[in-house]
Chains A and B, each alone.
Chain A
Amino acid sequence: MLDQLRFYAAHSWNDLRSNPQRTAFALLCIAAGVAAIVSLQTLAVMVQNTLTANLQQSNRGDLQVRPASGNSEDGEAALQAAVEAGLLVTTPLTFGGFGTTQYFFSAAGYEQIRDWLQATYPGADVTYRVNVASPIALFTGSGQGVVLANPQTGEEANGILPVVIEAARYPFYGEVLSVDGAPLAELLTSPDDIALNTLVAEQLGVGVGDVVTLQGVAGTFTVRGVVPTDAEVRNPTQDFLAALNGFYMLDVAAFARFNAEALRIDPIYVRLPDGADVVAVERALGQRFSFTRATTTEDLRRTYERVSENVNQLVTVMGLIALLLGSVGIINTMQVVVRRRVLEIAVLKTLGLQSGQITALFLFEAAVMGALGSAFGVVLGWGLVFAIRGVAEGLLGQPLGFVIAPNAVIAGVVVGTLVTTVFGFIPTLSAGKVRPATVLRPEDTLIPRTGGLSTFGALLVVIAALSAVAAGILGSALQAVAVIVGAFLVAGVLFALLLLTIWLIGRFLPSFGLVDLKIALREMLVTRGRAAVTLLALVVGVFSLSLITLLADTVTQSIGQLLEQEDNVFIQVPNRTALARVETELNALAGDVQYRVNFAYRLDFVEVVRADGSTLTLDEIQARLIATDPFLAFRATPAPGEEVSLDRQRQLRAQELRRRNEFVQVIGGLGALTPEQLAAQPQVPFLSGRQLTPDDARGLVLTESSLITDAGLQVGDTIVYRYSVGGFLGLGARTNELRYTIVGVRPQPTDFALGQATNYVLQSSIPEDLAPNSISIAASIPPDQIAPLRRAIADVPQTFLIETEVFVRLFEALLGQFTAFPLLVALLGLVVGGVVIANSVALSTLERRREIAVMKSVGLQRERVLGMLLIENAILGLVGGIVGVGLGLVGLIVLLQGQVDAPINWPTVLLLMALCVGVALSAALTTAWGASGEKPLNVLRYE
């Protein structure tokens, strides 16, 4: 046995050495996949290390205390009690018709918590952060405290995170130093001092000593220091916008300059004395102050570990996909290795090697290739980490230190070797089938086909082995089998599609009398099986790249259409008082200003009265919604004899209620149109019924949605609503009823309509006593008047101005951040695809050395021979491009499902196809150059 193993080893090693080019490309195929696994996993470890390196710094204390969320009845009651006791203050937060309440600690609340902590845990230290801007203000870049400006140049920076803290005490862990090395306590000594992060300072073009203004705050601030971004971006789950847009820092003394009614504190940072049990403190705090929730360093560790685990799983799956693509190269290589050594195999069988031993010999060689390629991949992966860590650093806003992660290396080598061996299995099966009598007729070296049953059996073995690998990554055997079987099915369909395309082109594309093209087409036809397998790898890479690029492109274009709309500003106001103030400011602006006000109302749905007088209650509608939802219908029906667990019943009930609530939300929202707005409605064909007319006193137009269709609502049905008037806190309110009859169902609108309900009635049909739920203004104003307007209404509470240009810019930045990583992985896939093609061309030229030599011996120049190979590969690249990009387009259409009304960016499509051809041509050129230059006599004599 040991002797046999020694023979396998010597034979494999010698064979790999004797064909350096073939070996190099095969190793590269494996290495590219393994490099993806190693680099992505190493990156995940680097992210985890950075996040968990100093949890106290990341948490800005041992504990971070915030007002509790009012998700339960008890929680809500505790919050209300704290508000009534003056420990919490509230701010309503409404946007687009939806509202919530934000809770903050008041100065009294902060002091009570501080005093209790310091009395209970002597040595505990407490500080806080003042909230001066709501999340909506920050996201929309409007309101007080979120826009900085350079008064010298007029340059503005939008959506900047305010960090208002006690400069002398903040933060408890990890000092904030300016780029000049000055601590925060020295930078912010007066209410007029400000520190900017590098991003904002660069954007505004300001430095230490310059002055800046803050929207909604009178006077100027003097820049005392510029701090690095990672000084404040410490927790990626909280500090995402700060990393993206930047931040500024003020001492709490500056809060007096803000136009605010009360101090709003969130969060409170706590530093505990050494040796304190942070979890016990958290529990005691929660018992003493039930309206609080605290995040401990332990919570943060758990969160980060969960995030890291998910990221790790995701990147490993991505790496595995890259490796599987690279394995196509192994299949090709092993096929050629076997084909070129049929005679040798026959000799070995003559000498007494059994079929199984022959297969084992080649499998051993595949395993050696796997191990060597994996080792090479590990080194390549480390190199790759340096190239791609910038993407992760951009997402985290923190620098990442390089580490050698043993797990990543082990995973890369084990998975690489295993996958290579597994993929080498099918081609080597045919080696065992070589007839020994071939040795007597060396010219008859046709490789026998592996039987259908053997191939099927081998495929099962491959699927089982890959499932075992996937199960190790995904943690579920069933899921792993499903994923691998699914992947094989998809690959099978793709393979068939590519095979058919290549056959059609090879068979029917006219050669226009060009001999070179004719030979290229014939060769393509003969080797279509391998060409299709090779293209499989390229197609997956191109498909991913196309889908991500085109999706980002189309969504950006769609959002970009906002810029082309007449309205360039949208303003959300909370009530009629605020509306009056904003209208005054709008009318005071210089230049051509046009605007319209949209009112939206929210009503309680009661029932539907059908045209025949029968009624449809909410329960009946819910039953219809469940019956028409295939997922719910399936889950609701237990299999014969199956006992439905309580947990499943609960899940099912929650899903049913979600459908019911969605319906109530959709049907309860009504827009109100003035006669002018009705006249300006786009002329679109209705799905049923008609548009409203000024005479439709009780008419309603619904917008198409699956909920409306599934509920069975039709033109002629009357919807009965209810609304409350008057009263306080639910007491003494009067309930009125309102009925609207459906006159038409229109298709989904494609224009941007903030705060506008999708179903609408006439404004004249809205009762006087029904208050609007949302008021929004769509305005078209001169661009130079936008900033003055934003500043003028900055102090109007709960009023947000959205500038389409700023919104689009922010959206693009977010999109760029989110697509950076998938794009990177797709590019890796494309590189692997390129390597597989290079490998395939190298193998093809190796097999066709004799043919090339014959062509050269009858007088063809090297360039001509090379040209033929390039034509063949350009056609294949084009096929890969058409199929890959085509599938990307199909994926795009399926994903968007008509939600985005933006045209497909055809130049990008063409560019992606050209990229595919380019990859195929470069790969072919790299490998075919040497083969085309070989001396014909050498080949003809010795081949």
Chain B
Amino acid sequence: MKTSNEVLRAVDLTKQLKVGEVKVDALRGVSLSVARGEFVAVIGPSGSGKSTLLGLMGGLDSPTSGQLFIDGVDITRMNERELTRIRNEKIGFIFQSFNLIPTLTAEENVALPIQFSRLRTHHPVTRARELLTLFGLGDRTHHRPSQLSGGQQQRVAIARALANNPPMLLADEPTGNLDTTSSQIVLDAFRKIQRDLGTTVILVTHDMDIAATADRIIRIVDGRVAEDAPAAAVVPPLVGELA
């Protein structure tokens, strides 16, 4: 099943969620493929299932049915222990609310995934300092999250996501809590990661301006892929629709 250029492949994914007593079909047969080094934006209105899809792609949750391959390996058959290992080694996560560990410094936050990695290709502290310097935070290594601005916190989160040099980065509304300037810095960082490191970036957003910075846009509506096309082809007709 593995092709040399494919980092992620979803085959007919479904996910049923239970909200109280009601069962909701969050995903209804999603199939897609993402190539190595691609920058993909997943868009859709609120409740469309994009975050659920991100959760499945990141091995945070299991699908009700279907298959999901990361680097050619079907992760839907994996147990929690194996999934955790995949998350640690193959995926970097970035969240809207940063989700840094409040009691740790920037350097400690970034070093954390390496400290718990089996592979340990880098020295945790050295790698953390390198990444923080790369994102312009070399002078903030010993600051706690509460001592950093939103933009700085998100850059620490990006550095943390890259700590184990994963082939794929998943970002859930990464600029949702940031001002325009900080958002631009973060997006530039994504682009730089994709270009310089060859890392696949999958970004979930409902902001078309941000989605437009990606190479490709996947539109999810009611748990299905409504559109999957290069950004240039998708952006003009959607501007009015999403607004």
Contacts and interface: CB of A to CB of B under 8 A. Distances in A.
Most buried by A among B84, B114, B160: B84
A352 B103 contact: no
B60 A350 contact: yes
Most buried by B among A7, A344, A435, A440: A440
Interface residues of B, number: 34
B117 A352 contact: yes
Contacts of A354: 81, 84, 116
B97 interface: yes
Nearest to A432: B80
A278 interface: no
Contact of A352 (B84, B102, B172): B84
Most buried by B among A347, A351, A435, A437: A351
B150 interface: no
A11 B160 contact: no
Interface string A220-242: 00000000000000000000000
B89 interface: yes
B172 A344 contact: no
Interface in A841-862: none
A289 to B, nearest CB: 78
Interface in B85-114: 85, 87-89, 93, 95, 97, 99, 101-104, 108, 111-114
A352 B104 contact: no
B115 A18 contact: no
B60 A440 contact: yes
A352 B99 contact: no
Contacts, number: 87
Interface in A1-45: 3-4, 6-7, 10-11, 14-15, 17-18
B103 A14 contact: yes
Contacts of A14: 103-104
Given A351-B112, A437-B61, A343 B99 contact: yes
Contacts of B108: 7, 10
A351 B81 contact: no
Contacts of A167: none
Contact of B103 (A18, A347, A439, A440): A18
A4 B115 contact: yes
Contacts of A350: 58, 60, 87, 93, 99
Most buried by B among A352, A355, A442: A352
A352 B120 CA distance: 13
Nearest to B160: A351
B55 interface: yes
A11 B97 CA distance: 20
A10 B102 contact: no
A7 B87 contact: no
Interface string B134-150: 00000000000000000
Contacts of A353: 84, 116
A18 to B, nearest CB: 6
Contacts of A18: 102-103
Interface of A: 3-4, 6-7, 10-11, 14-15, 17-18, 343-344, 347-355, 357, 435-437, 439-442
Given A3-B124, A344-B102, A352-B116, 15 more contacts: A3-B111, A7-B116, A11-B104, A14-B104, A343-B99, A347-B101, A350-B58, A352-B87, A354-B81, A436-B84, A437-B55, A439-B95, A440-B52, A440-B55, A440-B172
**Ranked 8 nearest A-B pairs via Cβ:** A352-B88, A14-B103, A437-B61, A3-B115, A437-B60, A347-B99, A436-B60, A351-B113
15 contacts: A4-B116, A10-B108, A348-B101, A350-B58, A350-B60, A350-B99, A351-B160, A352-B84, A352-B85, A352-B117, A355-B84, A437-B61, A439-B60, A440-B51, A440-B54
